[in-house]
């Protein structure tokens, strides 16, 4: 087997979406002749930030996982001290939609934070990760490096290893780096630095893998001096293995429920907000089109706040307190069961044109209709290829009202909702996607060996 060093700061037992995506990405590589050696942060780093839930999370991969601890980062040290000293429940001003102490809202504070968050607030991991990666390259017989980001520090680690070891580098973009709004403190200098870092990464990479065609096409336009053959698209997806034991809900089970269930899973961050749905349901109730006692909205995950406001408070203001359930994160199997047992799945992606939320593929696999509050972009490109999907602009309350009202009336009338056949979205199954990634790794590894063989032949001929 050939070996790939996978640079991923977030990896199980981390429970982040990125950690799960990376685990799914590398889980099936051994079936295609590649053994992954994952370079990640220690589990206690995740436990400190994410809580005790990380202890039950396992990666499910057969390769090694190397843990490199972070050096103390000034920003992280400050956050720890602030958490110790700040009275409970005391907030501050907002920067980029995040609750922060007042000093961060000042111009000097923003400039300082922008410097500390270049390219993100995990740069303390860079030096230990490079050191551990170099040792692994020598001792494990690594054939290539694969960096997956965000976090963008992962790509900086990959770039450094590429220059120090000469190993081919595959850069995997789960999100755009400099082409979308960054949810961190920014300055003109930090933006310039991010662009220079990204340029260095892309020019050094032997292959650049994006998860949407729109992002790939944009990078090709931005870097015309890089051969287009280096760029490719391998979408995110779902892992069929995680669905074993998740039984599809029968029509009888759905008919026996007393409420029409709308489910959202994940986090309400950046500009994701369920409030347009709340307002549309309020209008439906006022017109008598729906009965609120038969409507349930489950927000599962990190969904306490949206648009800087309490979700529960907004639901109460609109008279939807009994309908809206804000639930804590659940185990993955339970989250999948909730998706299958819903009547409508909610996707939030306002102002996302280059990205597709990772949960999209699990929503498609689950089967119920999907309502996406978004504009035309990469997400709509994916949804238009599948049945039972509906795309409505977040500002179009009438469109949301019309769709939810129609689906509710069918449910109330005993008409079973059509479900997607899993075979319809099988092209997004991770095992097949891993095969395509293995092809990219194989191509860059083969090119490296051909170049090395050519150089050796030239030296021998010179003698």
Q: How far is the C-alpha of 15 from the C-alpha of 359, rounded, in Å?
A: 14
Q: What is the CATH number of the domain that holds 364?
A: 3.40.50.2000
Helix H or strand E segment including 23:
helix 17-27
Domain count, the chain: 2
pLDDT number for residue 276: 95
- Please check whether residues 218 and 348 belong to one and the same domain: no
- Please check whether residues 147 and 291 belong to one and the same domain: no
Q: Omega of the bond prior to 151 within 30 degrees of 0, cis?
A: yes
pLDDT number for residue 120: 82
Q: How far is the C-alpha of 316 from the C-alpha of 280, rounded, in Å?
A: 15
- Please check whether residues 51 and 199 belong to one and the same domain: yes
- Please check whether residues 258 and 219 belong to one and the same domain: no
The reply to whether 79 falls in a domain is no
pLDDT number for residue 415: 81
CB-count exposure of residue 205 (10 Å: 0-12, 13-18, 19+): buried
Asked if 123 contacts 153 with a C-beta cutoff of 8 angstroms, the reply is yes
- Please check whether residues 196 and 297 belong to one and the same domain: no
- Please check whether residues 291 and 359 belong to one and the same domain: yes
- Show Cβ contacts of residue 232 under 8 Å, excluding neighbours closer than 6 positions: 207, 208, 209, 210, 216, 440
pLDDT number for residue 447: 72
The reply to whether 168 falls in a domain is yes
Model-level pTM?
0.85
- Please check whether residues 292 and 314 belong to one and the same domain: yes
Per-residue pLDDT tens listing for the chain (463 residues): 899 999 999 998 888 888 889 999 999 999 999 999 999 998 877 766 666 555 445 555 667 899 998 887 666 665 666 556 554 443 333 333 333 444 455 656 666 676 667 788 888 899 999 999 999 999 999 999 999 999 999 999 999 999 999 999 999 999 999 887 776 677 778 788 889 999 999 999 999 999 999 999 999 999 999 999 999 999 999 999 999 888 765 554 555 568 999 999 998 877 789 999 999 999 999 999 999 999 999 999 989 998 889 999 999 999 999 999 999 988 888 999 999 999 999 999 887 788 899 999 999 999 999 999 999 999 999 999 999 999 999 999 999 999 999 999 999 988 877 888 889 999 999 999 999 999 999 999 887 655 544 443 444 445 5
- Please check whether residues 47 and 176 belong to one and the same domain: yes
Domain of residue 62: give its range: 2-72+122-237+431-458
The reply to whether 149 falls in a domain is yes
The reply to whether 105 falls in a domain is no
Q: How far is the C-alpha of 161 from the C-alpha of 140, rounded, in Å?
A: 14
Q: How far is the C-alpha of 29 from the C-alpha of 438, rounded, in Å?
A: 6
List the one residue out of 349, 350, 346, 370 whose CA is nearest residue 420: 370
Asked if 211 contacts 356 with a C-beta cutoff of 8 angstroms, the reply is yes
Q: What tokens appear for 179 in the block?
A: 């082409």
- Please check whether residues 296 and 379 belong to one and the same domain: yes
List the one residue out of 183, 166, 177 whose CA is nearest residue 113: 183
pLDDT number for residue 87: 47
- Please check whether residues 303 and 210 belong to one and the same domain: no
């Amino acid at each position: 087997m050939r070996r790939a060093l996978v640079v991923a700061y977030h990896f199980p037992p981390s429970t982040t979406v990125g950690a799960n995506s990376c685990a799914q990405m590398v889980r099936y590589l051994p079936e295609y002749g590649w053994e992954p050696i994952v370079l990640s942060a220690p589990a206690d780093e995740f436990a400190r930030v994410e809580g005790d839930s990380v202890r039950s999370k396992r990666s499910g991969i057969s390769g090694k996982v190397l843990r490199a601890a972070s050096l103390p980062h000034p920003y992280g040290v400050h956050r720890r001290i602030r958490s110790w000293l700040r009275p409970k429940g005391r907030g501050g001003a907002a920067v980029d939609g995040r609750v922060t102490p007042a000093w961060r809202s000042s111009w000097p504070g923003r400039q300082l934070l922008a410097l500390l968050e270049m390219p993100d607030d995990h740069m303390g991991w860079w030096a230990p990760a490079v050191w551990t990666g170099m040792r692994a390259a020598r001792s494990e017989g690594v054939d290539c490096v694969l960096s997956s980001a965000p976090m963008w520090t992962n790509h900086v680690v990959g770039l450094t290893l590429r220059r120090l070891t000469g190993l081919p580098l595959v850069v995997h973009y789960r999100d755009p780096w400099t082409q979308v709004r960054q949810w961190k403190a920014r300055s003109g200098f930090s933006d310039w630095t991010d662009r220079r870092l990204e340029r260095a990464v892309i020019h050094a990479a032997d292959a650049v893998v994006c998860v949407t065609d729109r992002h790939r096409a944009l990078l090709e336009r931005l870097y015309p001096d890089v051969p287009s053959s280096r760029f490719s698209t391998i979408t995110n997806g779902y892992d069929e293995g995680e669905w074993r034991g998740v039984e599809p809900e029968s029509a009888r089970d759905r008919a026996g429920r007393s409420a029409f269930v709308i489910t959202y899973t994940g986090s309400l961050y950046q500009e994701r907000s369920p409030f347009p749905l709340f307002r549309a349901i309020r209008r439906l109730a006022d017109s008598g089109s729906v009965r609120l006692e038969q409507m349930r909205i489950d927000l599962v995950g990190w969904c306490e706040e949206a648009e800087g406001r309490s979700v529960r408070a907004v639901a109460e203001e609109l008279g939807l307190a009994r309908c809206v359930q804000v639930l804590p994160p659940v185990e993955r199997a339970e989250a999948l069961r909730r998706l299958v047992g819903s009547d409508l799945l909610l996707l939030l992606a306002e102002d996302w044109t280059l990205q597709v939320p990772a949960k999209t593929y699990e929503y498609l696999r689950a089967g119920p209709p999907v309502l996406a509050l978004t504009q035309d972009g990469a997400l709509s490109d994916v949804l238009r290829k599948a049945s039972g999907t509906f795309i409505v602009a977040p500002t179009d309350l009438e469109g949301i009202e019309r769709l939810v009202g129609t689906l509710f009336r069918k449910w109330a009338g005993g008409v079973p909702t059509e479900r997607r056949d899993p075979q319809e979205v099988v092209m997004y199954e991770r095992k097949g996607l891993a095969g395509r990634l293995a092809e990219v790794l194989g191509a860059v590894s083969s090119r490296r060996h051909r170049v090395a063989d050519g150089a050796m032949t030239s030296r021998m001929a010179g003698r």
